[in-house]
A and B are shown apart, each in its own frame.
Chain A
């Protein structure tokens, strides 16, 4: 069974641009969540989508947005990029929501975004 696929693997953008990252969950998984990983802040939760609806959102500005399609694939968009947005963006999928007893998250390898 294929794992969680994130594209692209690397991105280089300049300040003020916008970027879209893609995440294809494991087949059959309905929940996709996004995390930002930086050396200074560590891992921080961005948002979670389930059945095409955003169910939970972390403490990030409105420049960060996302969506989920009917096939559970998800995209994350960052507009008006800032230098501080440089990070590894990780996507994770699970069948249901959250960390119920029999659930676990499966992570992709991430998209490394560099803002110059």
Chain B
């Protein structure tokens, strides 16, 4: 079945460091891929998405490229801030199924 695998956290970085959170997926068809973020005490928010191979999603300085050949959708940011501290979830959705399959989440801690 479909699945999403994320790198385990927590990931601890200093402010202005480069961030990569790895995400790989298994899917039978051609899914859409998403990154959601959950700030402390809040619900999930869509951070970015990509709907087909080689698409790049971007938002708030974060980027992720849909790589079909490596079945990956790694999240990157060039210079993180303390306010980026949150839990990040990678997810996929196949239009035929109308539901999200989630990764386990990666907690990101940014120290000043």
Q: Verify that A and B bind, or say they do not.
A: yes
Residues of A at under 8 Å CB distance from B?
A: 4, 33, 35, 42-45, 48, 55-56, 58, 90, 92, 97-101, 104-105, 107-110
B34, B41, B100 — most chain A CB neighbours (10 Å): B100
How many A-B pairs fall under 8 Å by CB? 55
Complex CA–CA separation, A55 to B98 (angstroms): 9
Contact between A48 and B98, CB atoms less than 8 A apart: yes
Residues of B at under 8 Å CB distance from A?
A: 32, 34, 36, 41-46, 49, 51, 89, 91, 93, 95, 97-105
Contact between B105 and A99, CB atoms less than 8 A apart: no
- State how many angstroms separate the Cβ of A93 from the closest Cβ of chain B: 11
Provide the residues of chain B in CB contact with A35, threshold 8 Å: 100, 102
Provide the residues of chain A in CB contact with B95, threshold 8 Å: 98-100
Contact between A56 and B98, CB atoms less than 8 A apart: yes
3 A-B pairs with least C-beta separation: A98-B98, A107-B43, A43-B102
